[in-house]
Amino acid sequence: MPHARRPFRLERWIAVAGIALYAICSSQSRAADADQTPATVATPAPPPVVVHEPPPDEAVVLTDLDVRGGTLEDLIAFLQKNDPNFKAVVYRDAGVPAHTPAVSLKVKGASRRQILDLLQLRNQNLQITKLEGGPAPIHAFHVTRPQSAQAVDAPPYVRVYPLAAAVQRIVETRPDDGGKAPTQKDALDRVLSLIKAAASAQESPDGPASLQVHAETQVLIVTGTTPQQRIIDDVLSALTRRPTGERELESAKEAVDAAREQGKRREMELMDAIERLKKSEEMHTQDILDKTQQIERLKVRLEDLERRTDQKQKP
């Protein structure tokens, strides 16, 4: 029996060894096939696509701007010509004229944003606000009254200036070419010419001052702002100002005239006092005379009474 089972065990071990050898050969064959497979080459990624977006409307370079002495509306018309979608509204404070601010700009190769910033920088009384929230933004241009020394200048107002002193000063100190004193009319024309020249030199967003003269009374009526009124005050003060020596002489003359007037008044007061004394003396004299007459009448009556008494006492 033991000898009959030995061949079976041997065959079994031979089968197991064959299976193991087959597995080893199969794995080596697959490994060799894998080694012979060509390696995959990595493909480089394509470069990113750069999309050049158009700049916003305010950054687009506009055509050359050349506005001389124009208005804010002229500038807006230029911007709308370059961009029909540009929307703007202008509103001004009370008393601000329509030509304020005066726009004078000459710019090349600038965008709309740069032009608006430059405009606001040159005009402190202009505020520009961009209003969003709709289908298209709206630029609001708010024009306020100009400010100076942290105070808002008053709107134009009316003042009346007497010119008689300035005209008389011209007559006294400004002879014509022939050495003759100018007439009142010529002197008035000279004063008005100087005032107009000085007033035109004072720039104002409200425009030039309005001057109206009443020649018969030599009075000037001015409608203007505070700086313009101040200029006219300075002109009239300069025309009527006298030199130091002349002022001293004038002061001495005025003192003499005042002393003379005071002497006259004192003399009149003394004359009045003398007249009062005379009247008082006359009244006193009349009173004495009246009393003397009364005494005389009493004396006569007394004598008459004594005489009657004596007559009654006689037998």
Top-level CATH class of 57-147? Answer: alpha beta
Residue type, 121: L
**Cβ proximity of 91 and 141 under 8 Å:** yes
Distance CA 111, CA 60 (A): 5
Residue 126 makes CB contacts below 8 A (sequence gap 6+) with: 72, 101, 119, 120, 141, 142, 143, 144
Distance CA 268, CA 120 (A): 74
β-strand partners of 65: 107
Percentage of the chain exceeding pLDDT 90:
8
The residue that leads in pLDDT, 237 or 52, is 237
pLDDT, position 142: 93
pLDDT digits (tens, 9 = 90+) for 93-112: 877 777 888 888 888 888 88
Is residue 43 helix, strand or coil? coil
- The residues spanned by each domain of the chain are 57-147, 153-244, 273-307
pLDDT, position 26: 64
The residue that leads in pLDDT, 60 or 83, is 83
- Count other C-beta atoms under 10 Å from residue 110's C-beta: 17
* CATH for 153-244 (1.10.1060, 2.70.98, 3.30.1370, 1.10.3470): 3.30.1370
Region 65-91 average pLDDT: 87
Region 226-252 average pLDDT: 79
Task: Kindly report which listed range (81-85, 171-175, 243-247, 288-292) carries the lowest average pLDDT score.
Answer: 243-247
Q: Does 174 have pLDDT greater than 50? A: yes
pLDDT digits (tens, 9 = 90+) for 206-218: 678 889 999 888 9
Q: Does 122 have pLDDT greater than 60? A: yes
What is the band of 220 on the pLDDT scale with cuts at 50, 70, 90?
very high
pLDDT, position 254: 82
pLDDT digits (tens, 9 = 90+) for 14-55: 666 667 666 666 666 565 555 555 545 556 666 665 544 545
